[in-house]
Amino acid sequence: MSHSLTEMAGRCADLIASAERIVLLSGAGMSTSAGIPDFRGPEGLYAKLGIENPERIFDIGVFEVNPAFYYKFHREFLRQVEAVQPTWGHRFFARLEKEGRMSGIVTQNIDALHQRAGSAKVLEIHGSIWQSRCTKCGKNYGYRESARKVEAEGIPLCDRCQSVIKPEVVFFGENVMQFEACQELVASADLLFVVGSSLAVTPAAWLPSLCPGNIVVVNKGEISRTWLPSSRVSLHVDEDIDAFFQSVAARMGLDVPADL
């Protein structure tokens, strides 16, 4: 472990100790660390499934006409999610919540790994596979039931009215979810973590500028400075997410169990 990483972990531990309202904004980097590959990469789902027009997968107009096109992707995505576990970073923030330190999480991810790690205070700005809903009568389906229906039926249909069920994932052509609540949560934070996000996708990228307190960025690679100038970042860590938070936990004397 490098000396610089140790120093940054110590600084982060101090910021956590002095904070009263901690909020996390998480992005795709937390999911790729879990083993879920980038959709567009050479080993990603689009290539694996031979999808030639991936931009149409999350097009609400296409879904309404041909839900089978989306569910070809969704079924394999669920299998990948089932095959992985929440990362150490996911469990670290779940542990902070259990200790009463977290005001909440805003996530750009749709994989529900925060909930599986034990976090309850999660706002999913792009929606999630955690819940599904009938497109006609509005009946809700939990993660396990909807996943079972996807495997068994191909295109899952509502038990009540036989209409198509759609996961509560935000498609192109739909508004992001709970944006006002996300804004209020970040604006209340005296310590905001931005983890695994390059801050390139709006409106999520606008949120950190609302934080009046300290901002800690943990991301392997560059982040966009369009909405978050360097002058607003108290600590920027360009290191592996899990390794960094393991070091932070060690400095805090915080035990993060495998099962929360």
Query: What pLDDT does residue 1 have?
Result: 45
Please give the Cα distance from 46 to 1 (Å, whole number). Answer: 36
Identify the CA nearest to 168 among candidates 119, 118, 103, 122. 122
Q: What is the pLDDT of residue 259?
A: 65
Domains identified in the chain and CATH numbers? 3-36+86-126+176-252 (3.40.50.1220), 45-83+131-169 (3.30.1600.10)
Beta-strand (E) ranges in the chain? 22-26, 102-107, 122-124, 127-134, 140-142, 165-169, 191-195, 214-218, 235-237
What amino acid is encoded at 22 in this protein? I
Q: List CB contacts of 197: < 8 A, sequence separation 6 or more.
A: 25, 26, 27, 28, 29, 108, 204, 205, 219, 223
The letter for the amino acid at 223 is I
Q: What average pLDDT values come out for the chain (260 residues) when binned by 10 residues? A: 80 97 95 76 64 79 94 90 92 96 96 93 93 96 94 95 96 92 98 95 94 96 90 95 96 84
pLDDT at site 36: 81
Give catalytic residue positions.
126
What whole-number distance in Å separates Cα of residue 234 and Cα of residue 218?
11
The position carrying tokens 């929440």 is: 86
According to DSSP, the residues that pair with 107 across neighbouring strands are 26, 124
User: What does the alpha-carbon distance between residue 53 and residue 240 come to, in Å, rounded to a whole number?
Assistant: 32
Instruction: Give the tokens for residue 248.
Output: 């932070």
User: What's the CA gap between 119 and 95, in Å, rounded?
Assistant: 8
Compute φ and ψ for 32, nearest 5 degrees: -65, -30
pLDDT score, position 172: 87
The structure's pTM equals: 0.88
Closest C-alpha among 252, 257, 216, 198 to residue 24? 216
pLDDT at 57: 86
